[in-house]
Structure 1
């Protein structure tokens, strides 16, 4: 890079340098544990609270009879959704056969919709159960559906520990909800 002042950026403190920055302030809320219940035994579960909101405010893509599809507030990739049972259960083995079937059908539909609207080349689908299993909110079961593209894991998340998202969550919710119908 040249030393030309027109290409210099501010470092966030006021000193010009030649680095580009992608600010992702929403990640700080995740790091601080905001919206995560301090005590899992309380009724502060975000996955129980979200269905009480309207679809736009709750980022709900689709409501089923026993489960719903919601955008991840801290997505790993654009279009990252979660399939959650309405009932507050922590483990997959605690779901009823009907809940299991509906979650599977909603997951299949989520893959189809994401493939149609985003041309995803692949998907990561899975559940993290329990704190040791990597669940951010272990008290309420949720299945992740993460769209993937060839080459989508560049230096940003690996070295920079930053995810870049090209679209606002509400815009993504609107796109997916519209395609769901």
Structure 2
């Protein structure tokens, strides 16, 4: 077991994730990962970008809570929601509304969690660049393994989920 902030974390064997992990290490990004993704539209497939607009982009979460978890991120680098241009916030909100519809109607989610962790103290993993999470939820998708076993199980192929959602973009996000 590995000590993590005073909590013992157990890891489950998931051999299908080896390529994902080794690719991430080979292409380690310097600086803000979200700015890197924003500035490299030619790498959208490799970065698992679902959609881009003038002010924002929609990208799969590399460390998802559930299959289909994605984020809406402004191109502008800021850690302050209150400093974001109103037009950008409106665009993020409209994309969130369309994204919820896509997750429910296209992906079969029975609910969706929306959230922003503003700052490291609020739990943001990448605190320097705001982002809005959309996490699809399903009846009985929660269990005690995360709480009791300190492990997370991702029960489907990440790339397959990305391709499925990317195929729905024209029907839902545009």
- Answer yes or no: same fold by TM over 0.5: yes
CA shift for structure 1 position 36: 8.9
- Flag structure 2 segments of 5+ consecutive residues without an equivalent: 1-10, 22-26
Structure 1 or 2: more helix by fraction? 2
Secondary structure of the corresponding residue to residue 59 of structure 2: strand
Structure 1 CA distance, aligned partners of 2:14 and 2:32? 25
Which has the larger Rg? 1
Structural mapping, 1:128-167, within 5 Å? 128-167=117-156
Structural mapping, 1:31-180, within 5 Å? 44-51=31-38, 52=40, 53-180=42-169
Q: Do 1:68 and 1:85's aligned partners in 2 also have CA atoms closer than 8 Å?
A: yes
Q: Which has the higher contact order (CA 8 A, sep 6+)?
A: 2
TM-score under structure 1 length normalisation: 0.75
TM-score under structure 2 length normalisation: 0.78
Q: Which moved more, 1:59-68 or 1:48-57?
A: 48-57
The runs of at least 4 consecutive aligned structure 1 residues that moved more than 4 Å come to none
How many residues get paired? 152
Structure 2 CA distance, aligned partners of 1:158 and 1:142? 25
CA shift for structure 1 position 166: 2.7
